[in-house]
């Protein structure tokens, strides 16, 4: 929040109510518990939660005596102290003259909290965009994954994941993956729509290592439960074939 460069807001009035209960926990303590949160779009791809100050444990807020002029109006900077968690620059509280219905609202830095929840489901990385979709669809098309002509996986029982803003991902059963070419890594990533990964693998082909090109979710979110235990590859970094036809490598920030 404070002391960082802000992107241009989409529009000052791009604000909507969050229909779900939102909670946040830090240091083993519930700091936020509200049914009155709002979405504020600071980036085109996803919103952030803003919550009423009355629904925040005020004893956890530490006034850092910083008055700020944010892109969404004047605010006061606060740190966070909850249990063993002590974090500076954790939140801003918008002043009474903040525009767009933000007066008295608190915007927390996502990482200042140990966990965020919508109802009783944990939310990772950032709030889910209510206008984004993630669909996991079973298929009988044959998907083959290669690097430099070496087959890493091939299956006629993939689950194809279609996620707004990303290329299609092909999740393949583990028996179809040739793990003799893969080496486990310690990488763990989070996704607001799929959950937390439980495995990453690098590939070593012809003496060259291709780091973290495959991953799995053993315990994904309910929306994509059918990918549980399956393995996907960054199709930006491998050669993918569907029913024998090559698929052009997409260009994304993972490329």
Q: Tens digit of pLDDT for each residue in 147-194?
A: 999 999 999 999 999 999 899 999 999 999 999 999 999 999 999 999
Stretch (H or E) spanning 69: strand 61-70
Whether 152 and 111 map to the same domain: the answer is no
Tell me which residue of 121, 102, 101 sits closest to 23, measured CA to CA.
121
Tell me which residue of 65, 70, 64 sits closest to 5, measured CA to CA.
70
Decide: helix, strand or coil at residue 139: coil
As for how many domains the chain has, the answer is 2
29 strand-pairing partners: 26
Spatial strand order of the sheet with 15-17 comes to: 15-17, 38-41, 47-52, 105-108, 85-94, 73-82, 61-70
Whether 88 and 154 map to the same domain: the answer is no
pLDDT of 13: 56
Does 43 have pLDDT greater than 90?
A: no
Whether 102 and 144 map to the same domain: the answer is no
- pTM exceeding 0.85: no
Mean pLDDT rounded to a whole number for the chain: 92
**Domain assignment of residue 105, yes or no:** yes
Mean pLDDT over residues 76-82, rounded?
96
Whether 175 and 242 map to the same domain: the answer is yes
Whether 140 and 112 map to the same domain: the answer is no
**Domain assignment of residue 129, yes or no:** no
**Domain assignment of residue 128, yes or no:** no
Mean pLDDT over residues 99-123, rounded?
94
**Domain assignment of residue 8, yes or no:** no
Decide: helix, strand or coil at residue 58: helix
pLDDT of 44: 82
Whether 140 and 119 map to the same domain: the answer is no
176 phi, psi to nearest 5 deg: -90, -5
Tell me which residue of 55, 41, 100 sits closest to 75, measured CA to CA.
100
Domain stops at, among 59, 91, 123: 123
Domain stops at, among 101, 123, 145: 123
Tell me the pLDDT tens digit for each residue of 188-244: 999 999 999 999 999 999 889 999 999 999 999 999 999 999 999 999 999 999 999
Does 9 have pLDDT greater than 70?
A: no
**Domain assignment of residue 180, yes or no:** yes
Does 116 have pLDDT greater than 90?
A: yes
Domain stops at, among 85, 102, 123: 123
Whether 107 and 174 map to the same domain: the answer is no
**Cβ atoms within 10 A of the Cβ of 246, count?**
11
- Residue 255: pLDDT band (50, 70, 90) is confident
Does 16 have pLDDT greater than 80?
A: yes
Domain of residue 218, residue span: 134-247
Whether 59 and 141 map to the same domain: the answer is no
Query: Can you give the CATH number for the domain in which 239 is found?
Result: 2.170.150.40
Quick one: what percent of the chain has pLDDT higher than 70?
Answer: 95
**Domain assignment of residue 19, yes or no:** yes
Please compute, for residue 77, the number of CA atoms within 13 A of its CA located in the half-sphere on the CB side.
Answer: 15
Check: CB of residue 211 under 8 Å from CB of residue 147. no
Whether 162 and 96 map to the same domain: the answer is no
**Domain assignment of residue 98, yes or no:** yes
Mean pLDDT over residues 49-63, rounded?
97
Whether 141 and 236 map to the same domain: the answer is yes
Whether 88 and 168 map to the same domain: the answer is no
Check: CB of residue 232 under 8 Å from CB of residue 209. no
**Domain assignment of residue 10, yes or no:** no
């Amino acid at each position: 929040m404070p002391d960082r460069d802000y992107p241009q807001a989409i529009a000052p009035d791009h604000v909507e109510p969050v229909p779900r209960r939102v909670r946040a926990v830090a240091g083993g303590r519930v700091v936020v518990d509200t049914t009155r949160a709002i979405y504020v779009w600071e980036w085109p791809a996803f919103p952030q939660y803003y919550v009423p100050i009355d629904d925040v444990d005020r004893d956890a807020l530490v006034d850092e005596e910083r008055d700020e002029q944010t892109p969404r109006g004047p605010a006061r900077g606060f740190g966070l102290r909850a249990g063993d968690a002590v974090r500076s620059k954790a939140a801003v509280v918008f002043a009474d003259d903040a525009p767009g219905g933000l007066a008295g609202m608190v915007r927390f830095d996502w990482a200042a909290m140990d966990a965020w929840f919508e109802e009783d489901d944990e939310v990772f990385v950032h709030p889910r965009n209510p206008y984004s979709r993630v669909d996991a669809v079973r298929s009988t098309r044959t998907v083959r994954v290669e690097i430099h002509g070496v087959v890493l996986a091939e299956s006629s029982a993939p689950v194809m994941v279609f996620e707004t803003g990303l290329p299609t991902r092909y999740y393949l059963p583990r028996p179809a993956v040739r793990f003799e070419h893969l080496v486990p890594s310690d990488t763990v990533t989070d996704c607001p729509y799929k959950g937390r990964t439980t495995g990453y693998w690098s590939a070593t082909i012809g003496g060259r290592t291709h780091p973290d090109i495959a991953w799995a979710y053993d315990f994904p979110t309910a929306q994509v439960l059918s990918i549980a235990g399956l393995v996907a590859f960054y199709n930006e970094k491998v050669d993918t074939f569907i029913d024998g036809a090559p698929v052009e490598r997409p260009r994304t920030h993972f490329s």
